[in-house]
Amino acid sequence: MPQPPRPQWKKAVLQTVAHAERVLRGKTSSISADPNNLRQIRNFLVLQFESPLGSVMHATPFYEALKTAMPDAHVTVAASPMAASVLRHNPFIDRCVVTPNPCGNFRQAVHVVRELFREMPSCARCIVTTIGNRRPRLAILATLAGKAVRLGHTAAPELYDVPLIFVPERGQIEGNLDILRALGHEVAFCEPRIFFTLKDADSATCLLENASESVDQARIVFVTQTSGGQLNQWSEERFQQVVVRLTHTSGAIPIFVGTAEDVSAIDSLRQNLPQPGVSLAGKTSIAQLSAVLAQADLIVSLDTGTFHVARAVGLPGVVIAPAWQDPREWLPVEDPRYRVLRGLAISAPPAGYRMEEVHSEQVVAAALELLNKFPPSIKARATRLDRALVSKKSH
């Protein structure tokens, strides 16, 4: 979402910090902000402290594009626990370290990030923040980390050598790829990616084998709960209608996923279903969840982090999206593997908003269309699984 206007006092403080740094430490880097010079940088420290799963997933194309453009680059990530759960097996990252939250323990975060910075190769360095890491506190952390070019999306442009402006209509992925374009590299759009180990894949396989009578049975994953951070809920009754219709028509086993906090709500939804399927809520890590999704055939999901994980493993799906948010920022609106369903656009959600303008018949029709276009396939599951196995990847 667009950043709100900053108070004048905050702008003045940041300008003072920027001036003090220039006086005390001189030029921030021996490399100017000209793209021809920025292209020389091969040493990157990325501050990835957001907690929403979707935000981290939308940063993953940046890492793949970076290593594609600069195979000899060294990439270190200072990460939140959520970011690390997504990025720790990413082959396009050299080092990913869980770091104290700068919003909770700023002093300790500075200490750890400075240590990471000192342990990086000594050539020209760049400290990067992606779209989900625009907070001024992270800009100050980047300033205190060490002598480097500071580049990326920020709410404190006074502290950056190359501050970027995010345009939501272009999408989060394109916005993060703009970081590389600002460095002087031509990069093409690429999809989110997530990686997991063979152990994660085996755990997921066991969970799925216990869920269905036959490996040939179609598997439809349902994401019926969100974190509650945004108004993007759909009624239990409509989800039940969709599950009943799809399982009856396709013969699929319904698989429900979510966090431990979602167990009760999911069990309530499943209670009166003729085919209750199986709930894996609270039984998987992020890596295991991605391996489960890779071995499914379709996802029907609210607009929430799990859908972005499904997209990252290439699982086709239907997403029910809120009418108050431009889907171009977060969702694959033009990808034939997905159907984004939403009502007529509204400027802001009313009190108690639920996505009831999307009807169960629409969801069923879209899901059946995708199942016809991308039919359940053991081979397709294996392809998705193999593509995400970290043992198959290298820098």
Residue 384 CA to residue 296 CA, distance in Å, equals: 10
Residue showing tokens 């951070």: 229
CATH 3.40.50.2000 residue ranges of the chain are 8-182, 198-392
Q: Where are the alpha helices (DSSP H) in 160-299?
A: 172-182, 198-211, 236-250, 263-270, 286-294
3-class secondary structure, 61:
helix
Would you say 44 and 117 are in contact if contact means Cβ atoms under 8 Å apart?
A: no
Close Cβ partners of 104 (under 8 Å, ≥ 6 residues apart): none
**What digits encode the pLDDT tens for the residues 307-334?**
999 999 999 999 999 999 999 999 999 9
Per-residue pLDDT at 223 exceeds 70: yes
Would you say 147 and 28 are in contact if contact means Cβ atoms under 8 Å apart?
A: yes
Task: Tell me what percent of the chain is helix, strand and coil, each rounded to the nearest 5.
Answer: 45, 15, 40
Position 393 confidence tier, pLDDT thresholds 50, 70, 90: very low
Would you say 281 and 263 are in contact if contact means Cβ atoms under 8 Å apart?
A: yes
Question: What pLDDT, on a 0 to 100 scale, did the predictor assign at position 30?
Answer: 47
Residue 353 CA to residue 179 CA, distance in Å, equals: 35
3-class secondary structure, 261:
helix
* Number of helical H runs and strand E runs in the chain: 15, 12
| Cα-trace Rg, the chain | 22
Of 133, 32, 72, 349, the residue nearest 142 (C-alpha): 133
Half-sphere exposure of 178 (CA within 13 A, CB side): 20
Name the average pLDDT for the chain.
Answer: 91
Q: Tell me which of 87 and 20 has the higher pLDDT.
A: 87
| Strands (DSSP E) found in the chain | 43-48, 74-79, 95-98, 125-129, 149-153, 162-164, 219-223, 253-256, 278-279, 298-302, 317-320, 338-341
Neighbouring-strand partners of residue 128: 46, 151
**What digits encode the pLDDT tens for the residues 361-370?**
999 999 999 9
Question: What pLDDT, on a 0 to 100 scale, did the predictor assign at position 394?
Answer: 44
Model pTM score: 0.92
- Residue range 232-243: mean pLDDT, rounded: 94
Question: What pLDDT, on a 0 to 100 scale, did the predictor assign at position 11?
Answer: 57
- Residue range 206-235: mean pLDDT, rounded: 87
Position 125 confidence tier, pLDDT thresholds 50, 70, 90: very high
Neighbouring-strand partners of residue 299: 221, 317
Phi-psi region of 224 (alpha: psi -120 to 50; beta: other; left: phi over 0): alpha
Residue 231 CA to residue 228 CA, distance in Å, equals: 7
Per-residue pLDDT at 284 exceeds 80: yes
What is the 8-class DSSP label of residue 6?
P
Please identify, in words, the CATH class of the domain defined by 198-392: alpha beta
Of 173, 183, 140, 145, the residue nearest 56 (C-alpha): 173
Position 352 confidence tier, pLDDT thresholds 50, 70, 90: confident
DSSP per-residue string spanning 328-382: GGTS-TT-TTEEEE--S--SSPPTT---TTS-HHHHHHHHHHHHHHS---HHHHH
Would you say 360 and 307 are in contact if contact means Cβ atoms under 8 Å apart?
A: no
Q: Tell me which of 122 and 360 has the higher pLDDT.
A: 360
CATH number, domain 8-182: 3.40.50.2000
**What digits encode the pLDDT tens for the residues 180-219?**
999 999 999 999 999 999 999 999 999 998 877 788 899 9
Question: What pLDDT, on a 0 to 100 scale, did the predictor assign at position 210?
Answer: 82
**What digits encode the pLDDT tens for the residues 142-166?**
999 999 999 999 999 999 999 999 9
Residue 45 CA to residue 227 CA, distance in Å, equals: 29
